Every structure is written in structure tokens, then in C-alpha cells.
């Protein structure tokens, strides 16, 4: 996965090339939780950076996705994602997944992003 900083308070994550027929789904969560059981239940979306093995309890800080709004899946079907790091929690570590499908084939990749203190908050890519 190619990464690129793109403007104020934003971090862009890019898939290197767009090919016809590919569909992209972008997901984001804290490393301190897993996705709810309704989010791609047949896929293993676990990383070596995770500190939890199951979804966070409802209405807790880690159960609300990257922006604290309860959304784990970003809208759209693009080969790129722009994150508003100003809406993310400082000193938190997140995992961004992209799931790419074409017909019956599926691939996935993840990127770990740490939001560090600053004004504006900045991101550290691992």
C-alpha cells in the first residue's frame, strides 16, 4: 500500500493502481478492539498490533470507529482514502484496512496509523 500525506489534518492512504472492476472497502478501528461481528464476519481482520481479541463493549471509546461516530466502514468505493486526523484521538493507534474485491476474488491489506500529539495532530505510519 502506498501512503502519502495530503494536506491539512489529512492522511491519504492509496492503493497503487486502479483497475476496472475492482471494488474497494475501507475500514478503520482502534488497535484496542476488533470490528463488530457484522463487519465482514467471514474474514480475519486481525493484525499483530491488536491488543484485544473481540469487539469493544457498546458505547465505549473503542467501540466508535476512527472518528468516534460509530462508523467502522468509510463510504465510497475508491482506491484512496483521506483521513481527517483532526477528528481522531491523539495518542491513539488505529488500523486501516482496505478490502479489494473483483467478482469472487478478495484481497485485503492493512496499515497501522498512530496519531501523535500536535497542532494539528499528525500521523505516524508503521
Give, rounded to a whole angstrom, the gap between the first and last alpha carbons of the chain. Answer: 12
Residues near 98 by Cβ (< 8 Å), separated by ≥ 6? 1, 13, 15, 24, 25, 26, 27, 81, 108, 109, 110
Domain boundaries, the chain: 2-94+103-125
Tens-level pLDDT at each residue, the chain (126 residues): 444 445 545 566 655 555 788 899 999 999 988 988 889 989 999 999 999 888 888 777 778 888 888 889 988 888 888 888 888 888 888 999 999 999 999 999 999 988 888 776 555 554
pTM of the model: 0.78
| Cβ atoms within 10 Å, residue 15 | 19
Amino acid at each position: 500500500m502506498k501512503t502519502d500525506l495530503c494536506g491539512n489534518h489529512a492522511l491519504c492512504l492509496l492503493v497503487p493502481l486502479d483497475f476496472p472492476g475492482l471494488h474497494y472497502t475501507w475500514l478503520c478501528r482502534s488497535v484496542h478492539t476488533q470490528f463488530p461481528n457484522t463487519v465482514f464476519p467471514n474474514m480475519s481482520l486481525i493484525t499483530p498490533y491488536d491488543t484485544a481479541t473481540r469487539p469493544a463493549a457498546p458505547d465505549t471509546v473503542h467501540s466508535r470507529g476512527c472518528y468516534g461516530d460509530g462508523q467502522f466502514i468509510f463510504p465510497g468505493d475508491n482506491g484512496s482514502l483521506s483521513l481527517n486526523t483532526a477528528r481522531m484521538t491523539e495518542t491513539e493507534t488505529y488500523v486501516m484496512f482496505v478490502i479489494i474485491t473483483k467478482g469472487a476474488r478478495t484481497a485485503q491489506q492493512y496499515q497501522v496509523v498512530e496519531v501523535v500529539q500536535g497542532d494539528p495532530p499528525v500521523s505516524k505510519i508503521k
